[in-house]
Amino acid sequence: MSAAGSDTASLPRFEVRLAAPDLAPWLPGNTGIEGFITFAAPRSGPHVMVLALMHGNEIAGAAVLDALLREGPRPACGRLTLGFVNLAAYRRFDPENPVASRFVDEDLNRVWDPAALEGPRRSAELDRARAIWPLIAEADWVIDLHSMLWPSDPLVLCGQGARSRALAMAMGTPALVVADGGHAGGRRLIDHPRFLAEAGDAAAVLVEAGQHWQEDTVRQMRASVDAALARAGMIGPVPPGAPPRFAEVSRVVTANTGRFAFVRPFRGGEVIRRRDTLLARDGAAEIRTPHDDCLLIMPSLRTSRGHTAVRLARFAAPE
């Protein structure tokens, strides 16, 4: 997530504590797709794909993949594909205005409906999605690395697919797994029918590893990637942590006016203990917690009309 839905002129200044890596060595790739590199093991196993830069300003993921590539991945089994997604937006990244390069024409993580992918409409992001989808469709597991604009505890979004939920829980880090139905503005990659269908083996998760441009976010991303690769048998085991908590989104709050405002600057991961607690005002409407122990998922502290302001969730036992 980034500054989508925010008035970027009204945003505070954010400190960029990461250097955007030089991706030139990796752009030729070896798959026929710019910025996508596959490593195959002699022994059979799953095809795991790790993606960075779905949004061009989320450079922590690029730093993680750059480090992995410099180490020279040697998966013990199967295939490992590392991919830099929105390179056109990344090329525009400016640390003096880091929120401006999320995308070129539209959010690349809202175009994954098959009707959009197969339709006639054109944009920089749709063209890129169409180019990379055939390779994504070969993967058994997709780990999509993201970061967040506003302060929040790390989490994994698993959409509504049972296999994706199982993968997120098995990874074990971040320590919160959230099932949700996505955004009104379009399908994310993890919402593609390939990952939701009852038949098949494919799973996809979206790791929201922390705030943009922070070293802690890079470390969380790397821990998540290592956990997934260990689970796939591609690398040795990693130390297990406590079992993650699971939550299901109970309400998606979309700003209906240009005057949406929280009553205070909530942090993602906060739990509001009492039902009917006032969270925000959207024009004349009040937004209140629908139940006790209401978990706030990624509140966007500056939200414009028509965009997701916050998701509200309740803790549950994973099925």
Query: Each residue of 109-165: pLDDT tens digit?
Result: 999 999 999 999 999 999 999 999 999 999 999 999 999 999 999 999 999 999 999
Give the pLDDT of residue 8: 54
Give the pLDDT of residue 3: 43
Omega before 25 cis (within 30°)? no
Residue 68 CA to residue 73 CA, distance in Å, equals 6
Residue 20 CA to residue 63 CA, distance in Å, equals 7
pTM: 0.94
In this model, does residue 4 exceed pLDDT 50? no
Query: Each residue of 260-302: pLDDT tens digit?
Result: 999 999 999 999 999 999 999 999 999 999 999 999 999 999 8
Give the pLDDT of residue 238: 94
Domains present along the chain, CATH in parentheses = 8-231 (3.40.630.10), 250-316 (2.40.50)
In this model, does residue 5 exceed pLDDT 80? no
Pairing of strands 260-262, 271-272: unpaired
Residue 49 CB burial class (10 angstroms; 0-12, 13-18, ≥19): buried
For the chain, first and last CA: distance in Å? 27
Confidence class of residue 11 from pLDDT cuts 50, 70 and 90?
A: confident
Query: Each residue of 60-96: pLDDT tens digit?
Result: 999 999 999 999 999 999 999 999 999 999 999 999 9
In 176-235, the DSSP E strands lie at: 176-179, 203-211
In the three-class reduction of DSSP (H, G, I as helix; E, B as strand; rest coil), residue 78 is classed as coil
